[in-house]
Structure formats: structure tokens, C-alpha cells
Amino acid sequence: MKQKTNTRFLPKGLTILYEDRDILVVDKPAGLLTIATDSEKSKTAYASLMDYVKKGSDRSKNRIFIVHRLDRDTSGVLVFAKTEVAKQTLQENWDNTKKVYIAVTHGIWKLKQSSIQSYLTESKAHRVYSVDDPKLGKFSETKYKVLKESNLYSLLEIDLITGRKNQIRVHFAEKGHPIVGDIKYGTESKSFPRMALHSFSITLTHPFQKKPLTFITNIPNFITGLVGGYERKQDET
């Protein structure tokens, strides 16, 4: 049964999309880390939501558990578990979870709909890149289709088949179409307020109810504005 949100403890900048005794689904804003790093310990979605489920009580045994992550500058649907069993169940079935992203990339794509496949690995400097040898990287697949184009940019819908670190960003950059605002894998400086990548929807099987649940967010105006606006049709997933 879906729980009512107690707005008193609702973390700033995060919108609760769904909550029951097993899972907690939020709409994460760009600029907020999913979990702590060496340089940032407290200002994270995880820390804020841990406070939320504890309802301000340090003695509360309520907890949340990481199921997957979004990059700091990626906004959108983010799923947490509220029990260890729910976390394990969700992660074991994560490859069967449908994850749809929206992005704006530089340039005009020759193929308006295609699939990018490669083996991804990570350097000691934490930079992800593709390699030819399957033994040296993890298989990764990103499906995309162009929704709208302008003179400079392309708005894409992405079906994330595998969920490797920085996968979408690396695949698009290696094709010569980096995501707008991507400083790490693109060639630009900080000329945009954020990166144009958004976790638009996730469809998963509830870990215990075993029913499919779909969570959808609004596409940020910054992203659609790059191509002069875009309105999704009702029959689009």
C-alpha cells in the first residue's frame, strides 16, 4: 500500500514519486549527488532521504538502501529500497527493469534510431571508455531515437539496456555527439547551467507485490528548450 508523504520531513529539492514499506522513488534534481563521495559527505539524496525515513529521530531503525545511482548532474527518477531484501530483489532484476532517459546532444545524428554497443572499462583517473577486448570491459548497450532536431542539437530518447557507469555519456561522446553540458566527456567549458541528461521513466517489478510499476517525471524545461520546446504525445512511453 502506498504511504502518505509527510511533508514536514520532505528533503529540499527532492520530490517523492512513490513510497510504500518496501521502496522509495524520487525525482532527483540536477546538481545533487546520489551518495557521498570523498569530497561531499552530507549533501546527497541518500543522506536527505535517510533523514526523511527516520522522521528526525536518530534512534529510528528505518533505513534506505542504494539500488542504482544517477550522476550528480543527471536529474530524474531514482529508486531506493527500504529493506535489504527489497534492495537485493530489485538489483537482481535490474537488467529487466526498463529505464528511459531523455538527453540533448551536440550535432545532428546520421542514424535517427540505432543501438550503440561496446565494452566499457574505467581508467585509474575514473574516466570510462570503450575497449575492443571483451575480457577488458563490461558489455554495454544504449538504444536511442531522435525526437527533435535544431540547427545545433538533437533531442533523444534513450532505452538504457545495460546500466554501466557514465554509459550514455561515453557512448554518445565516442560517436561524436556528446551530451550538452557534459564537461567530463564533452569538449566544452561550464557554459551551460547543467548537463542535458534526464532519467525520464523507470518501469520495474515490485519486489514483493510482483506487479509492474512505472514512474514518470516531467522533462526539465532547460532540456526541451535547447531544441525550441517539445511536447510528448500521450502514447509515448
Give residue-wise pLDDT tens across range 49-83.
988 898 767 778 899 999 999 999 999 999 999 99
Q: Which of 71, 95, 132, 133 is catalytic?
A: 71
CA geometry: angle at 25 spanning 203 and 81, to 5°? Answer: 95
Task: Indicate the DSSP class of residue 38.
Answer: S
The total number of residues written for the chain in this structure: 237
Supply the mean pLDDT for the chain: 90
Q: What is the pLDDT of residue 55?
A: 79
Q: Cα(77)–Cα(111) distance, rounded to whole angstroms?
A: 28
**CB neighbourhood size of 35 (10 A):** 12
Position 64: which residue type? I
| Catalytic site includes residue 71 | yes
14 pLDDT higher than 80: yes
- 29 secondary structure, DSSP code: P
128 contacts 134 by C-beta, under 8 angstroms: no
- What percentage of the chain carries pLDDT values higher than 90? 74
In this structure, of 40-44, 53-57, 201-205, 210-214, the range with the lowest mean pLDDT score is 40-44
